[in-house]
Amino acid sequence: ALYQRVLDQLKTFVGTQNDVLLMACSGTGAMEASVSNLTSPGDRVLVLSAGKFGERWVALAKAYGCNADVVTKPYGSTFTLDEVRAALKPDTRVVYMQATETSTGARHDVEGIAKLLRSSGSETLLVVDGITGLGTTTFDIDAWGVDIIIGGSQKAVMIPPGLAYLSVSERAWAAMEHSKNPRYYFDLR
């Protein structure tokens, strides 16, 4: 009963009607789960990297055999929608990005990138590391069409690291059924 109440309250905190999962790991575990559950070796993904945690997305994508296209900006900078649009390919399966880059405090345009993907009719999934952003930034996860957003206990919630949470859209659940990457501990299904 307590666990169910926590999950319901996390939906309110995250601001979504999607399923929200709670994991016994740091935010990096939830980041890894979003790669292993949504991709197969050889899939093309787009990583937007402008800091240490953007670099972590690149490493995770490569660890799971993805072909990572990377838009890199200097630490503290952000991406224009034109840069993102130019980097997207018809076969891009997932876009991985930060909401707020912890290492610099730079805030990225999650809403704009989500609208860019949805307005083009793309099937590309959007995964957002909101570990710093959730609780400090306003998001409209469902209306924007964010497929997975990840939070962590050690940032805005201000409790020790070791708990991660993520919301999962229906589109993301469906994509997991086709992923060929190995999963065990971090199998979200």
For the chain, the average pLDDT equals: 96
Q: What is the pLDDT of residues 87-109, one digit of tens each?
A: 999 999 999 999 998 888 899 99
Phi and psi (nearest 5°) for 162? 135, -10
DSSP designation for 100: B
pLDDT at 71: 98
How many C-beta atoms lie closer than 10 Å to residue 82's C-beta? 9
pLDDT at 157: 87
- Nearest Cα to 151, choosing from 160, 142, 163, 139? 163
pLDDT at 105: 87
Q: What is the pLDDT of residues 7-18, one digit of tens each?
A: 999 999 999 999
pTM: 0.97
